[in-house]
Amino acid sequence: MMNCDTIVKDYTPNSYYFSSNEIDTSFYVDDKKLSETILEVQIPEVPNKTIKIRVEKTDFKPEEVELRYQYNPNVNINWFLLVFYPVGVLVDYFNDSFFSYSAEKDFFILQKTPNLPKMT
């Protein structure tokens, strides 16, 4: 007995990808440098872990985003089904389908930092 979010959860990716508009961009995961230009982050098996992703390149403003375990908006259809099929909603809940990993953005557009005149 399965419900729609439980079925979809089996097809969710095990990795999350980040990229940038600049080549040779350094990607940091929780302050540890892991990659250049493209980053593949393995989705943790332990829920509720927040992962900080930082992007840096010389002469560019650094950017940061968090990969968070949060409420899956696709679950909202379950509230409609609750009236007709409450067991399915419970299956989704106990299979941890109400939450998933997501980030505010997965593509970084880096901006050059302005060259300020030196003070003498």
In this predicted model, what pLDDT tens digit does every residue of 39-89 receive, in sequence order?
A: 888 887 777 888 999 999 999 999 999 998 888 776 777 777 677 777 777
What per-residue confidence (pLDDT) applies to 54?
94
Question: Residue 20 in contact with residue 39, Cβ under 8 Å?
Answer: no
What per-residue confidence (pLDDT) applies to 64?
94
Average confidence (pLDDT) over 16-23: 89
What per-residue confidence (pLDDT) applies to 69?
86
Confidence of residue 116 (pLDDT cuts 50, 70, 90): low
What per-residue confidence (pLDDT) applies to 85?
72
**In the chain, count of helices (H) and strands (E)?**
3, 8
> DSSP code of 25?
-
Q: Which of 1-5, 31-35, 44-48, 55-59 is least confident?
A: 1-5
Q: Which amino acid is at 101?
A: Y
Percent of the chain, pLDDT > 70?
80
Compute how many other C-beta atoms are within 10 angstroms of the C-beta atom of residue 9: 19
How many residues does this entry show for the chain? 120
